[in-house]
């Protein structure tokens, strides 16, 4: 029987290490974070603090830590601050505020990153949940956002992702309403900690479900929630 193994090819496979060590289905989640100048001071600090507690909360759930994958795209200027990784591999970035609000380009980048990631999953035979895009902004786009808006509409219609928009302080809720098909939420004050706590709970319930299941999310706009509709 010697040499049975030789019948099989084990060529070097890109990206395979993470999936060999952890073949659980993945729930990718992109945080699209506004780091334009208007976020300076307390908002960006609260956001940074929220991000580190987000990681901690996801780490406490033994399923989320294997199934949730986080990526961060910050905009002003648009850059992928962290690429997809499970919470244990996620090191919350220290965001600093500067520049304008190229929200349209940021959304397009996020959609493209999701497509790439899904292809990596498919190539590696990894099942996945419907991805999340979570946009947090305190302003209005300074670039052309029409294409981004149609990408969001198409993606939502095809169920290729869920797009959530959260407005902070003086965010242009009107534009957010035109981009997102789900009603955008308005953050109460600077309750980023509560927002991320809600997000990690929601991702926890997703990661305990089966890919494709409908998940009932806790209403963030309840009186004790962190958001207003």
Partner 1 sequence: MKRADRIVSGSGMDVIFGQELGRGGEGSVFEVDGRPEVVAKIYHKPLPKEKQDKIEAMVRLKTERLLRFTVWPVEVLRDSGRRVIGFLMPRLNGKEIHKLYGPKTRLTEFAQAGYPFLVHTAANLARAFAAVHEEGHVVGDINHSNFYVTDQATILMLDCDSFQVQSGSKRFGCDVGIPMYMPPELQGVTSFRGMVRTRNHDNFGLAVFIFMLLFMGRHPFAGKYSGQGEMPIERAIREFRFAYGPSSSARQMQPPPGSLPLQLLPPAVQALFLRAFAQESMTRRPDAQEWVSALQEMGGTLVPCAANAWHHYPAHAGSCPWCAMEAATGGLLFRPADSAYRTSAGAAQAGAGSSSADPGGGFHLPAVWGQIQRVPKPAGARTLPEPSSLQPQLSAPVTAYLRRKRWRGALSLLSLASGAGVWIFLPGFWILTVGVLAGFNLLLLAAGRGRRALREERAETCSLLRVRWNEVSRRYIEASGHGAFSAKLQELEQARRDYLDLEGYKAGELRRLEGRQRAVQLQSYLRRQRIDQAQLDGIGPGRRATLALFGIETALEVETHRLARVPGFGPANTRMLLAWRDRIERRFTFDPVLGRVPAAEVLAVERAVEARTRELERRLSAGAAELMRISSGIRARQEAALREAGGTAQALAQAELDLKVL
* Residues at the site binding partner 1, with contacts judged by CB under 8 A: 1-8, 10-13, 16-25, 41-42, 45, 62-63, 66, 88, 122-127, 208-213
Name the minimum Å distance from CB 156 to partner 1: 16
Name the minimum Å distance from CB 178 to partner 1: 29
207 neighbors 175 (Cβ within 8 angstroms)? no
Is 98 or 146 the residue whose CB approaches partner 1 more closely?
Answer: 98
Is 62 or 79 the residue whose CB approaches partner 1 more closely?
Answer: 62
Name the minimum Å distance from CB 142 to partner 1: 26
Whose CA is closest to 87, among 61, 113, 124? Answer: 61
Is 11 or 224 the residue whose CB approaches partner 1 more closely?
Answer: 11
Cβ neighbours for 223, distance < 8 A, ≥ 6 positions apart: none
> What is the sign, positive or negative, of the torsion defined by CA atoms of 52, 58, 59, 65?
negative
Helix (H, G, I), strand (E, B) or coil at 7: helix
Is 1 or 157 the residue whose CB approaches partner 1 more closely?
Answer: 1
Cβ burial, residue 52 (10 Å; 0-12/13-18/19+): middle
Residue with tokens 């294997």: 66
Name the minimum Å distance from CB 185 to partner 1: 25
Name the minimum Å distance from CB 225 to partner 1: 20
Sheet holding 162-167, edge to edge: 79-85, 68-75, 27-34, 132-137, 162-167, 185-187, 227-228
Name the minimum Å distance from CB 36 to partner 1: 20
Is 144 or 213 the residue whose CB approaches partner 1 more closely?
Answer: 213
**94 DSSP assignment:** -
Is 42 or 150 the residue whose CB approaches partner 1 more closely?
Answer: 42
**96 DSSP assignment:** -
């Amino acid at each position: 029987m010697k040499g049975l193994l030789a019948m099989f090819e084990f060529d070097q496979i890109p990206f395979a290490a993470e999936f060999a060590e952890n073949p659980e289905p993945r729930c990718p989640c992109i945080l699209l974070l506004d780091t334009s100048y208007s976020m300076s001071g307390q908002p960006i600090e609260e956001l940074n603090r929220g991000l580190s507690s987000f990681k901690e909360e996801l780490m406490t759930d033994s399923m989320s830590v294997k199934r949730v994958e986080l990526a961060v795209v910050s905009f002003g200027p648009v850059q992928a601050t962290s690429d997809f990784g499970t919470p244990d591999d996620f090191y919350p970035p220290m965001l600093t505020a500067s520049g304008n609000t190229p929200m349209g380009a940021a959304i397009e980048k996020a959609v493209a990153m999701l497509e790439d990631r899904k292809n990596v999953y498919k190539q590696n035979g990894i099942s996945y949940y419907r991805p999340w895009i979570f946009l947090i902004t305190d302003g209005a786009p300074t670039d052309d956002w029409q294409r981004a808006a149609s990408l969001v509409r198409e993606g939502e219609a095809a169920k290729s992702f869920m797009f959530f928009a959260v407005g902070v302080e003086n965010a242009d809720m009107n534009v957010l309403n035109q981009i997102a098909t789900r009603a955008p939420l308005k953050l109460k004050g600077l309750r980023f900690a509560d927002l991320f706590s809600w997000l990690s709970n929601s991702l926890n319930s997703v990661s305990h479900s089966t890919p494709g299941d409908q998940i009932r999310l806790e209403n963030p706009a309840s009186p004790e929630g962190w958001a207003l509709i």
